[in-house]
Amino acid sequence: MNKLLLVLGSSSMLLLAACGGGEEEGTDEEAATDEGQVFTLEELEEYDGQDGNDAYVAVDGVVYDVTGVDAWEGGEHAPAGGLEAGGDRTEEIEAAPHGTDVLEDLPTVGTLEEQ
pLDDT single digits (tens) 23-76: 344 434 333 334 589 999 999 999 999 999 999 999 999 999 999 999 999 999
pLDDT band (50, 70, 90) for residue 81: confident
106 Ramachandran zone, left/alpha/beta (phi>0; psi -120 to 50): beta
Read off the pLDDT band of 115 (50, 70, 90).
confident
pTM beyond 0.85: no
- Asked whether 58 and 86 are in contact (CB, 8 A), the reply is no
d(CA 53, CA 46): 7
Nearest CA to 89 among 72, 107, 74, 105?
72
pLDDT band at 11 (very low <50, low <70, confident <90, very high): very low
Of 52-66, 73-87, 94-108, where does the model show the most confidence?
52-66
